[in-house]
Amino acid sequence: MIEQAWIIAIIPIVAWLIIFLFAKALKEKVAYVGILAMGISLLLSVLTFSEALGGTVEKSFPWAVVGDIKIPVGFQVDPLTAVMLLVITIVSLMVQIYSVGYMHGDVRYAKYYAIVSLFSAAMLGLVLANNFFWLVLSWEIMGLSSYLLISHWYEKPEAAAAGMKAFITTRIGDIGLLLGTIMLFVYTHSFEFNVIAEKIHAGEINQGIVTVAALLVFAGGVGKSAQFPLHVWLPDAMAGPTPGSALIHAATMVAAGVYLVARAYGIFVATPYALFWVALIGGFTALFAATIATVMTDIKKVLAYSTVSQLGYMMLGLGAGSYTAGIFHLMTHAFFKSLLFLGSGSVIHAVHSQEMHEMGGLRKKLPITYWTFLIGTAALAGIPPFSGFWSKDEILLAAYRSPYPVLFWMGVATAGLTAYYMTRAVILTFFGQPRDHHKYEHAHESPPVMTVPLVILATLAAVSGLPGSPFLHNAFGEFVKFGHGHEAEPSSFVMIIAISAALLGVLAGVAIYGYKVISREKAIRSWRPLYLVLKNKYYVDEFYMAIFVRGTVLLAEIVGFFDRYIIDGLVNLVGWLGMQLSFLSGLFDKYVIDGMVNGVAAITMALGNSARRLQTGFVQSYAITLFAGVVIGLILIQLIGG
């Protein structure tokens, strides 16, 4: 199977085509097409994974040739790809099964399934590609899919705007990736990751060039993985259907940026400076987004900022030098975050609201959702032995062992905040008294088609950390590693700090929202300026709106005005002067070039009455200009050629 792994990406494309072409005939049966395709892809991914344990495969074929330059098409299956294939197909399959219930009766049910298939195909293609060109191609198809998915309910202005914002914001990063790709090609004459890495490793490329190229490539990751300062699109993207969010924000799209850094790790390790920036941006984003998540009251917004934060965590791991930790967290996060999104979807499905202040006490009404959500929370908060604990611990360990201790403390603070805001979310949603009785009364547990995926994902969220734990001899790290890999020496200090931070966060959450030991209102009042800054997400959106969006529109208006009144004004002025002149020349042309006029007039005759309504005399102008031109030409020739 591993030799034909590319088929895994083709199957959902076929599904997309079938859904697209037969949407009307199939109606809601399109779901089965998508699910069947993803099921097959999952099966093949499992086979591929098992074969990848034995060794990697890479294949390349020429795709387009220009002069001596060849653009290849090819794929590889190495441990990184094998893991990604599994993660993507599992999450996508769960999302699609869940959507049968969640999207039932949607106005654009078929379109939704078509996009989800395309989305999955793009992400699968992305992790299979063995070169930058096809990575960029899949990357942008994913950008398109996310745009379509986010603006799925485009009748709502905020959904339409969010789709556009996502596409344009990520595209700013994409330009970096594009330029980085081109730059690497110019210096290495290759698009293929392995060839580029080898040439850099051999020291053939100037260090400064490598650093710039790596930072450019990283810019692409910053956009797609919603890292500061391009994080703004992700929270708005919540306007899309919730299962779509689960797909975008767990296994595809946002994971692509982290994957990109991992895939191009051969470039990054050659330049400590770039790697430092990856870690710094990652660490900063992790902390920054976590603080915002603590004050959000929309359950999806909490999860959205949590996603931004956790992606920062992955970048931090990669930047701190642990390839394995970054990928490991990418995997565990994909499971528990898709679980949490789908869980929130189940809640939203039940109460028709995303505001946590309108929920409360739902654990009795939605027992399965509650228990699975709790497991997801434990995993995200880093409570042992759930999956997030193991992967977070590895990242913190890498940061701890890195030359910059500040990265470690950023990670610790984020871990504490994460535990806090998730505890808060769980309590507000599932505990206490119902705050909106009408909504509470009508709430009911979701159908099995939605809860079964929750249970499966909860199982994975619980146990998927174990391959990276000492219980299984760190099997994950043995399989997914960069080069020969180097195990950071375990540290009980790091583990104790990580557990303490998580517990502290949980305790704080319980104290404020559970037992109300500390009054929430009082805290907000005494910390009002800080609260407002967080509530307004540090005013980044407002700043971008004022500077970049309005600035660009203003610039466009200026150009439009300049074009219309200055440039075209000049043109019209010249035209007017010409008309004055042609009056004089009219006399001239009557006598001098009569013959030419007759010649051209013949054409006019042929056109019959076509010319009737147009200004006559125009044809004469044509002739005279022609004549004048030839005269000038002959003079010029004399001047230059003589």
Partner 1 sequence: MLSSLIFIPLLGSLAILLVPREQDRTVKWVGTIFGLIPLLIVAYLWGQYSYSAQGMQFVEHYDWIPSLGISYYLGTDGLSFPMVILTALISFLAILASWNIKNRVKDYFFLMLLLETGMMGVFVALDYVLFYVFWELVLVPMYFLIGIWGGPRREYAAIKFFLYTLIGSVIMLVGILALYFNAGLNTFDMLALAKHKFAPAFQFWVFLALFFGFAVKVPVFPFHTWLPDAHVEAPTAVSAILAGVLLKMGTYGFLRVSHPTLPEAAKALAVPIAILGLINIIYGALAAMAQKDLKKLVAYSSISHMGFTLLGLAAMTPVAIQGAAFQMFSHGLISAMLFLLVGMIYDRAHTREIAKLGGLFNTIPTIAVILAFASFASLGLPGLSGFVAEFLVFLGSFGAYRTFVIIATSGVVFTAGYYLWMIQRVLMGEAKKEYLGLPDITARELGTVVPLMIFTTLLGLFPSLLMDIMNPAILGLVAKVGGM
Binders of partner 1 in range 538-577 (CB under 8 A): 552-553, 555-557, 559-561, 563, 567-568, 571, 575
Q: Which position has the token pair 């949590």?
A: 306
Minimal distance, residue 33 CB to partner 1, in Å: 20
Minimal distance, residue 603 CB to partner 1, in Å: 7
Structure-token pair, residue 136: 């960029």
* Closer of 177 and 366 to partner 1 (Cβ): 177
Binding mask 156-175 for partner 1 (x = CB under 8 A): -x--xx-xx--xx--xx--x
Question: Helix or strand or coil: residue 490?
Answer: coil
Residue 141 in the binding site for partner 1 (CB under 8 A): yes
Whole-angstrom distance, CA of residue 360 vs CA of residue 373? 14
Q: Of 113, 112, 97, which is closest to residue 39 (Cα–Cα)? A: 97
Q: Which position has the token pair 């003079």?
A: 635
Residue 361 main-chain phi, psi, to 5 deg: 70, 15
Residue 65 main-chain phi, psi, to 5 deg: -125, 130
Residues 39-58 that bind partner 1 (CB under 8 A): none
Letter string b/e over residues 223-235, b meaning 16 or more CB atoms within 10 A of that residue's CB: bbbbbbbbbbbbb
* Closer of 526 and 625 to partner 1 (Cβ): 625
Residue 496 in the binding site for partner 1 (CB under 8 A): no
Whole-angstrom distance, CA of residue 574 vs CA of residue 579? 9
Mapping DSSP onto H, E and C, the string for 246-261 reads HHHHHHCCHHHHHHHH
Minimal distance, residue 391 CB to partner 1, in Å: 32
Count of residues near partner 1 by CB under 8 A: 71
Residue 636 in the binding site for partner 1 (CB under 8 A): yes
* Closer of 532 and 607 to partner 1 (Cβ): 607
* Closer of 580 and 615 to partner 1 (Cβ): 615
Whole-angstrom distance, CA of residue 452 vs CA of residue 458? 10
Residue 204 in the binding site for partner 1 (CB under 8 A): no
Q: CB of 246 within 8 A of CB of 334? A: no
Residues 571-610 that bind partner 1 (CB under 8 A): 571, 575, 578, 603, 607-610
Q: Of 236, 256, 227, which is closest to residue 156 (Cα–Cα)? A: 236
Q: CB of 342 within 8 A of CB of 95? A: yes
Structure-token pair, residue 275: 């790697």
Residue 511 in the binding site for partner 1 (CB under 8 A): no
Q: For residue 355, what is the DSSP state?
A: B
Minimal distance, residue 632 CB to partner 1, in Å: 6
User: How crowded is residue 537: how many other Cβ atoms within 10 Å of its Cβ?
Assistant: 20
Q: CB of 359 within 8 A of CB of 435? A: yes
In angstroms, what is the C-alpha Rg of the chain? 31
Evaluate the omega torsion of the peptide bond into residue 229 and state whether it is cis, within 30 degrees of 0.
yes
Binding mask 214-253 for partner 1 (x = CB under 8 A): ----------------------------------------
* Closer of 109 and 335 to partner 1 (Cβ): 109
Of the candidate spans 148-156, 291-299, 332-340, 342-350, the one that interacts with partner 1 by CB under 8 A turns out to be 148-156
Residue 523 in the binding site for partner 1 (CB under 8 A): no
Whole-angstrom distance, CA of residue 267 vs CA of residue 277? 14
Of 367, 551, 617, 629, the one binding partner 1 by CB under 8 A: 629
Minimal distance, residue 137 CB to partner 1, in Å: 4
Residue 625 in the binding site for partner 1 (CB under 8 A): yes
Question: Helix or strand or coil: residue 73?
Answer: strand
Q: Of 604, 624, 627, 606, which is closest to residue 614 (Cα–Cα)? A: 604
Of 25, 53, 66, 587, the one binding partner 1 by CB under 8 A: 66
Of 475, 545, 547, 628, the one binding partner 1 by CB under 8 A: 628
Structure-token pair, residue 423: 């505890």
Of 357, 614, 616, 617, the one binding partner 1 by CB under 8 A: 614
Of 55, 67, 470, 529, the one binding partner 1 by CB under 8 A: 67
Minimal distance, residue 619 CB to partner 1, in Å: 9
Minimal distance, residue 105 CB to partner 1, in Å: 17
Binding mask 111-140 for partner 1 (x = CB under 8 A): ----------------------x--xx-xx
* Closer of 105 and 608 to partner 1 (Cβ): 608
Minimal distance, residue 579 CB to partner 1, in Å: 10
Minimal distance, residue 273 CB to partner 1, in Å: 20
Of 6, 22, 63, 538, the one binding partner 1 by CB under 8 A: 63
Strand partners, 214: none
Q: CB of 306 within 8 A of CB of 298? A: no
